[in-house]
Amino acid sequence: MPPRSAPTERQRRLGAELRRMRVEAGMTTEHAAGLLGVPRTNVPNMESGRSGISAERVRTLAANYGCADQGLVEALAAMAAGREKGWWEAYRGQLRDEFLDIAELEWHARRLRIAVTVHLPGVLQTEEHARAVFEAVIPRLPASDVDVRVAHRIDRQQVLDRPTPPELDVIVHEAALRMEFGGPAVARRQLEHLLHMSEREAVTVRVIPFKVGSFPGAGQSVVYAESAVPRLDTVELDSTHGPEFIDTEAQLLKYRAQLDAAQSVALAPEPSREFIRTLADNL
């Protein structure tokens, strides 16, 4: 099978972790290839995510690299074994790959910690709210492109309908709640939808009111996706140029601390729902 031309973020992450193990073990690509009985060029392709690798080969490499963290090894083996195509693959070719990477990240997360200041989380947006957001993009998108982006955003929400959905812990600033994307009626229905979703067992919404003032990460929207083991956690940051995925240990530590600090100044879940209800009633 020829190497992939565009590996997904998840495939790249698996390869990067295997490369990190090999480098820390002081082993060459030639030695790694010999362990697997494959040509030397196969190893760089595996480590870049351009070629697949079986769960058994992941375990073989990890054992020979001297990795004693069995939780990490099994998490990587599970990543290698999960080759079934997700629902987001139906959008490949219609949307940039990064949009699909976000959906895949959410689908495989154990927990999603999200902090937003202007835009509400995509997995909690109504269709009309999402449409208003995408219609404000510069340069202006053709109607057909808006339709595809809206459909993808709404499809992302099926992750919350799974038998065992990821825990969704959202911190939302008052500014995001007051943004009237699509006008007052659309904004009111969006707030009511947010209230409805916050009643789910797996969903927690906390509000940071204006009166709190400054707090760490106030100017940034963050999605922290927790994996089976902390080493495989990922942070996703939004920008006008597209999403950025971060996974270095130092950055993961920084964003965990930032989210903890934001949560410490946010209202508790029940007062947060009362806060949102008041805003919705006043629209």
pLDDT tens readout for residues 204-254: 999 999 999 999 989 889 999 999 999 999 999 987 777 899 999 999 999
Residue 8: the pLDDT is: 93
The pLDDT of residue 241: 76
* Rounded CA separation 75/125 (Å): 31
Average pLDDT of the chain?
95
Three-class HEC string of 150-176: HHHHHHHHHHHHCCCCCEEEEEEEHHH
The pLDDT assigned to 219 comes to 84
Residue 156 confidence (pLDDT): 98
Superfamily of domain 9-81 in CATH is lambda repressor-like DNA-binding domains (1.10.260.40)
Residues of the chain with CATH 1.10.260.40: 9-81
Q: Specify the pLDDT at position 121.
A: 97
Q: Can you tell me which residue has the tokens 């993808």?
A: 152
Find where tokens 């060459």 sit: 28
pLDDT of residue 2: 54
**Interval 46-80: pLDDT, tens:** 999 999 999 999 999 999 999 999 999 999 999 99
Phi (first) and psi of residue 148, to 5 degrees: -65, -45
SS (H, E, C) the chain: CCCCCCCCHHHHHHHHHHHHHHHHHCCCHHHHHHHHCCCCCHHHHHHCCCCCCCHHHHHHHHHHHCCCCHHHHHHHHHHHHCCCCCHHHHHECCECHHHHHHHHHHHHCCEEEEEECCCCCHHHCCHHHHHHHHCCCCCCCCHHHHHHHHHHHHHHHHHHHCCCCCEEEEEEEHHHHHCCCCCHHHHHHHHHHHHHHHCCCCEEEEEECHHHCCCCCCCCCEEEEECCCHHHCEEEECCCCCCEEECCHHHHHHHHHHHHHHHHHCCCHHHHHHHHHHHHHCC
User: Is pLDDT at 6 greater than 90 in this prediction?
Assistant: no
Nearest of 257, 230, 23 to residue 111 by alpha carbon: 230
| C-alpha torsion sign, points 59, 62, 68, 73 | negative
Question: What pLDDT was estimated at residue 4?
Answer: 62
Which of the two residues, 202 and 242, has the higher pLDDT score?
A: 202
Residues 6+ apart with CB under 8 A from 94: 148
Q: What is the pLDDT of residue 74?
A: 97
Over pLDDT 70: what percentage of the chain?
A: 98
CB 261 within 8 A of CB 216: yes
CA distance 231 to 30: 26
Work out whether strand 222-226 and strand 244-246 pair parallel, antiparallel, or are unpaired. unpaired
Q: According to the CATH classification, is domain 89-281 in 3.30.870? A: yes
Q: What are the angstrom distances between the C-alpha of 122 and each of 12, 116, 147?
A: 24, 11, 15
Give yes or no for residue 175 having a pLDDT over 90: yes
What residues does CATH 3.30.870 cover in the chain?
A: 89-281
d(CA 101, CA 12): 11
Nearest partner of 64 among 28, 13, 38, judged by Cα: 28
